A and B are shown apart, each in its own frame.
Chain A
């Protein structure tokens, strides 16, 4: 049952993400920007965060940024476990036979590329900060301070994505796990302690943050299509 659920959820997310990226509309309703398009880096954005590529980029601006969080999740140690089990059946479950008769693990191309995970971690690190910036911007409605349901959704999404990123195994290694004498590096020891505590829930953060991104985009999309109006708290 578990592999089936994993296949269903991950496939649905990939299909939804691809659809959203290529449809390239309805991702901004002032002041909410969908996380699939943040940061928006081209002139053809509905709301440009930073017009880095100007008019040189003619495709969906989501394509400029999505490879980084996608690569981070694809090479993530937790997701690897999830899709090796559910998609590749290697193995489908503990003590259940592998689907394939030969096995080389992550020693050969293409799976040896999983070792680039820490680079995707570096590339994914700015995203929670940018999304937090988006969430803070979402406290302003036509120049006035305010808060709507969308503000809370964007804020929760940024926090969940931050927890997922900082609980990453590569992060845990880089902040202190790679050294044996933590007693001689007090700052790294503290960082490693925090990362270790977060890392224990990496799987939960992986799933919740995935749904967070999905819900945030869906919320903005429904608002943009006028399905309902954003409830304002003040």
Chain B
């Protein structure tokens, strides 16, 4: 770990009281769905945690993930925690550029080999690695090289976690996630487009205090991705009452009713958006009047259209339905005609039998 000020010195330098720090620890404990008894342990661990070196690699991405984190830079404690790690390489935020920047990355890797945390945002093109390069190094090579000495990898954003928008059909660059390439390192996926900043800092805090958090089958920390948005949505009572907005400007929309019919993916999307919210707990997409896009889930871009309700068929089924009507009618006419001709044949072949004939036969 690096020889830089520990958290208590940073707290003092930033004018944060011990009370404020403990409040932050309590909120983190709650956020991570841990027992309140864990709070002192978190405080102790954060106070004594050596600041790990963090190398942040940005690949095929829009910088939205970095933007999201920097937008949380009101003077908050989350911000402080983020600063309390030693961010040794981040090509958007660092002052150095070109060879100097790469030299910083290599120096950090060398100095902290096996101990640094690697944060990745963006997907990795594998159809032709040359599609995305930094300082002449392909994303694929840089990821492999940097991941080798990492203690753990945090894949920030849906692009790094699951391929995201670059991976969307037809995926022209052959974009894949970090987990598709790196198989021998612990990977924590923090999906979202972009992820909630406090979730990011929460994951880092968990890593500092307890190590790798408990993950779900998609590599997401269960504390932040354990429940669906629908379960915690403040509009949920309207869903239960059967009150839905039918359009973006109708009475239902103005009244703040449920957005299910406008395509909300809240029922199938796991995230703490509805509780933690954004911009210091100000709002989240559904509160702003837009249905959830399901951005913390793999392939969210291709999951049947943003504005189609979840229950509605995703394909172009109308033509098929009409074709089925025509085919059914043709087959019905054919079947009916066949039955009628069978009936006619039977009638033609009918032989009249009287009692004498029957007696003769018996």
A binds B: no
Residues on B lying within 8 angstroms of A by beta carbon are none
